[in-house]
Structure 1
């Protein structure tokens, strides 16, 4: 029986990316909860934030087990991910939930695709920290309420969603250019269909927009 393979540095790169994303998501959701129109919604978003920090802890523990300090693995992603969040600060509750719905979902779609390039237990870990469908259901319900209260909001949120996707893809391009090991992992062998990847991401985003009653 052959010995199990030891994950290479590219795996730590990916886990560092996911870990910092979870840490930032916690910070963002905890802060954005203050924009909630009532305590019920504030508590709901705060509970989501708690789940994010729990996911971060699991990823940090895995990096530590691999002999990689979590801070070291996350550092290359601080600037691009922070730049995305700094350039997409929500102005109100409707923009908060749209960012959670659109931004988190496209990130999850991307991670779900590239998780195929990982061996166990890292594949299972990445897939397990993706956002629960309840988060998307909550966000969609809130978007629909906002649009029902003022139909003009649909146009503003549609434009906001397009901006979110544009900023996300811009920063993803920056990461790909700077982290050759991560890019090589994504394209490794035939386990990830790179040519079809962005087409599927776009199609999934279009479908989500339709579900929320927004225009792509």
Structure 2
């Protein structure tokens, strides 16, 4: 007989609890979508070795999704309900950033997923140690960033004219990612409250003001990612 814990929404009673559930639901759906996207990218890869690498990364994302689902059930929450509020904004982000080439898909996986991971880690900083460790674990890239950066850097070295176009694409990805993240924070005030708790600024003009400052700081690592791919001007 299965001993799985049945979801019990009544256990989620405080704003902090709701914020944590939102974080886990958002991340669970993001990992699911990332699985499908990387699997699709694998089909476009030019070599069998590249296909195998991306397929392995996709499998890791699916495994992370299952970990998050189990945690939500453990907390007494229906995973489908926890993910539901984030389907529209994440689907909109992907619809607005459809890559036209394999290299664009790699840049999207590196830049888009990178800034999203920064966002999730920032929120997780103010959760309890168990949740924080879980989030850090499921955001583990396990070599993906290095693989993507090396592939893009090699392509740019072989065809320097790609650099400008891919750098412009990367900037667009960041803008779209921040726009959707702000939408999520506006629609989910308990999640914004968690994020605001991680704001170290002395200016405390409300959760959304703190969120805006944090989003601005999330772009600081963007140049480092561009440099890693050979796209920094």
User: Are residues 1:70 and 2:79 paired?
Assistant: yes
Shift of 1:100: 1.1
Match of 2:193 among 181, 184, 190: 184
Partner of 1:48: helix, strand, or coil?
helix
Partner of 2:76: helix, strand, or coil?
coil
Cα distance in 2, alignment partners of residues 211 and 45 from structure 1? 19
Cα distance in 1, alignment partners of residues 216 and 173 from structure 2? 17
Look up the match of 2:151: 142
Cα distance in 1, alignment partners of residues 214 and 19 from structure 2? 19
User: Are residues 1:174 and 2:191 paired?
Assistant: no
User: Are residues 1:89 and 2:98 paired?
Assistant: yes
* Cα deviation code 1:181-201 (max 9, x no counterpart): 11112123xx44347523431
| Equivalent residue pairs, number | 210
Cα distance in 1, alignment partners of residues 185 and 220 from structure 2? 21
Cα distance in 2, alignment partners of residues 53 and 105 from structure 1? 18
RMSD of equivalent CA atoms: 1.8
Look up the match of 2:214: 197
Shift of 1:211: 2.1
Gaps of 5+ in 2: 1-13, 201-209
Cα distance in 2, alignment partners of residues 98 and 185 from structure 1? 29
Cα distance in 2, alignment partners of residues 104 and 131 from structure 1? 11
Look up the match of 2:5: none
User: Are residues 1:102 and 2:119 paired?
Assistant: no
CA contact (8 A) 1:114 1:186 kept: yes
Match of 1:47 among 47, 50, 56: 56
* Cα deviation code 1:81-114 (max 9, x no counterpart): 0111111111111111111110111111112222
Cα distance in 2, alignment partners of residues 41 and 210 from structure 1? 22
Cα distance in 2, alignment partners of residues 92 and 36 from structure 1? 10
Q: TM-score, length-normalised on structure 2?
A: 0.85
CA contact (8 A) 1:102 1:164 kept: yes
Larger mean Cα displacement after TM superposition, 91-100 or 72-81: 91-100
Partner of 1:68: helix, strand, or coil?
coil
Matches within 5 A, 1:115-130: 115-130=124-139
Match of 2:20 among 1, 11, 17: 11
Cα distance in 2, alignment partners of residues 212 and 131 from structure 1? 19
* Cα deviation code 1:135-186 (max 9, x no counterpart): 1100111101111221110011001101111111111111111111111121
Change (3 A) 1:122 1:204: same
Match of 1:156 among 144, 165, 180: 165
Cα distance in 2, alignment partners of residues 47 and 133 from structure 1? 10
Q: TM-score, length-normalised on structure 1?
A: 0.91
